[in-house]
């Protein structure tokens, strides 16, 4: 899962198609974990998963998404090639230190504002 997310989070690999046999369960898990990285709420993540996996949503898939630890992915993200998605590169960018994240807000004029979380 970490490797697949790293491929998705590197804009040099774009465009990219995410698909599995029926485009529901494995695809849903990958997209659900991506949504966690994008800081979607759990409710929104599971709503999207159920919408596209119905009528055969799997509780184990949802449990996998819920328990997936994003920190190993965050530790390996190449911040210079993040996609220009609103929740990834349009505002704050995460740079790899999952236990002490450094958020960098780069405004339109190029000024940077950094803070630790």
pLDDT digits (tens, 9 = 90+) for 17-67: 998 887 678 999 999 999 999 989 999 999 999 999 888 889 999 999 999
Q: How far is the C-alpha of 35 from the C-alpha of 29, rounded, in Å?
A: 10
Asked whether the beta carbons of 100 and 115 are under 8 A apart, the reply is no
pLDDT at 110: 53
pTM comes to 0.74
Render pLDDT for 62-113 as a digit per residue (tens, 0 to 9). 999 999 999 999 899 888 888 888 776 443 444 444 444 444 444 455 555 5
Asked whether the beta carbons of 58 and 32 are under 8 A apart, the reply is no
Active site residues: 20
């Amino acid at each position: 899962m970490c490797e697949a997310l790293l491929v998705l989070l590197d804009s040099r690999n774009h465009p990219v198609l995410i698909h599995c046999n029926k485009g529901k369960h494995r695809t849903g898990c990958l997209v659900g974990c991506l949504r966690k990285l994008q800081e979607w709420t759990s409710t929104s993540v599971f709503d999207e998963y159920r919408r596209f996996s119905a009528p055969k949503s799997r509780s184990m898939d949802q449990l996998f998404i819920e328990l997936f630890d994003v920190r190993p992915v965050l530790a390996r993200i190449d911040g210079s090639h993040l996609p220009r998605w609103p929740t990834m590169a349009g505002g704050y960018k995460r740079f790899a230190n999952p236990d002490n994240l450094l958020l960098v807000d780069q405004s339109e004029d190029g000024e940077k504002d950094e803070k630790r979380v």
